[in-house]
Structure 1
Amino acid sequence: MPARSKAQQEAAGVALAAKRGEAKVGDLKGASKEMYDSMSEKELEEFASTKRKSLPEHVSKRH
């Protein structure tokens, strides 16, 4: 499943770095922390690898 916004794609990249031990888990906050806790490394790779060119900066939350 691809990321829906640039912010989501970036948060996934930060969470992925933490999963791989390239960043400190303690430094995560907000969406990247939630993604780290709830997604597998493979899922994070899919989100982080989404092409950013056609993505909006942010997408409003759906309830």
Structure 2
Amino acid sequence: MPAKSKAQQKAAGAALSAKRGDTPKSELKGASKDMYDSMSESQLEDFAKGSREGKPEHVD
């Protein structure tokens, strides 16, 4: 399931980067930290992929 907003997509990308070891987990905060703990790498890939064009910055 792809992200519904730009903010979700950015958070998933940050969590995915940490999950892969590209960035330290200590740099994560907020939603990206929660996503890191609760989602698998493949779930994060699905959430982070796709274009940000046309998506709202945030959703309720």
Same fold (TM over 0.5): yes
Corresponding position of 1:22: 22
Corresponding position of 1:45: 45
- Cα distance between partner residues in 1 of 2:51 and 2:3: 9
- Cα distance between partner residues in 1 of 2:20 and 2:42: 11
Q: Percent identity?
A: 65
1:54 Cα deviation from its structure 2 partner: 1.6
Q: Secondary structure at the residue paired with 1:55?
A: coil
Query: Mapping of 1:29-40 within 5 angstroms?
Result: 29-40=29-40
* Runs of 4+ in structure 1 over 6 Å off: none
Aligned CA-pair RMSD: 0.6
Structure 1 residue runs without a partner (length 5+):
none
Residue 2, structure 1, aligned to residue 2, structure 2: yes
Task: Give the total of aligned pairs.
Answer: 60
Residues 17-55 of structure 1 show CA distances to partners (whole Å, capped at 9, x for unaligned) of 000000000111100000000000000001111311121
Q: TM-score, normalised by structure 1?
A: 0.91
